[in-house]
Chain A
Amino acid sequence: GNSVTQMEGPVTLSEEAFLTINCTYTATGYPSLFWYVQYPGEGLQLLLKATKADDKGSNKGFEATYRKETTSFHLEKGSVQVSDSAVYFCAPGNQFYFGTGTSLTVIP
C-alpha cells in the first residue's frame, strides 16, 4: 500500500527562518499527496495538496512539490511565524495511519 516516511521532530526555529520538513513516499501508481497541520487542541486540517507528479501545492505561504523522480513531497516555507507552531503530517490519499507527525516550534 501507500506509505510515507516523514522527518522526525521536534523542530525549533527562530521567527523568519526557512522551514523544510522532509517527506518521502512509496506508492503504487501516483496517488494524491497531502500535508496536514494540527494546532494545539484541534483536529488535523488539510494544509495543501498535489494531485499528480510535478504539481505544486501551496497555502498560507507553505509549498510542496510532488517529485516523482525522488518520490518526495517536502514542505517548505520561506519565513516562519510564531503562529506556524504546530504538528505537520504528510500523507498520501487513502492512508489511514498518520504517524506522530513533525512538531514545529517557532520562537520569537
Chain B
Amino acid sequence: DAGITQSPRHKVTETGTPVTLRCHQTENHRYMYWYRQDPGHGLRLIHYSYGVKDTDKGEVSDGYSVSRSKTEDFLLTLESATSSQTSVYFCAISGALDEQYFGPGTRLTVT
C-alpha cells in the first residue's frame, strides 16, 4: 500500500463552477502525477510535479491547473468545469524504479 488518498471520491458539479481535487501521500515521494481516464482514451497525463512548487504540463493540461505547496499534497483545480471534464481522475506517485503507485480515483461528473 503506497499510502495515497484522494478526496473527494465522488463529485457532481455544474458547468462553470470551480472544482478542486486533492491528492495526499504519506510516502514523501518527490514526483506526483494527475491523470484522467476516459473510455477509449486510456489514462492520460494532465500535470505532474517534481517537487514543492515545481510543476509541469502533461498531454491534456488545458482547463486544469495544479499546485503543490507541501510534499504530501498535490491539488488539481478545474477553474470552470465543463462537461468534457467529466471523467475519473487518478493521482499517482513514482517509486525508485520509475514504477507508479495510484490512488483510488475521483469520479467527477459535470452537469
Contacts and interface: CB of A to CB of B under 8 A. Distances in A.
B104 interface: yes
Contact of A100 (B42, B90, B102): B42
Contacts of B92: 43-44
Interface in B2-58: 33, 35, 40-45, 48, 58
A79 to B, nearest CB: 26
Contacts, number: 52
B59 interface: yes
Interface in A40-54: 41-46, 49, 51
B98 A98 contact: no
Contacts of B45: 96-97
Contact of A43 (B44, B48, B90): B90
Contacts of B62: none
Nearest to A93: B98
B43 A93 contact: no
B105 A97 contact: no
Contacts of A89: 43
A3 interface: no
B100 interface: yes
Contacts of A34: 99
Interface of B: 33, 35, 40-45, 48, 58-59, 90, 92, 94, 97-105
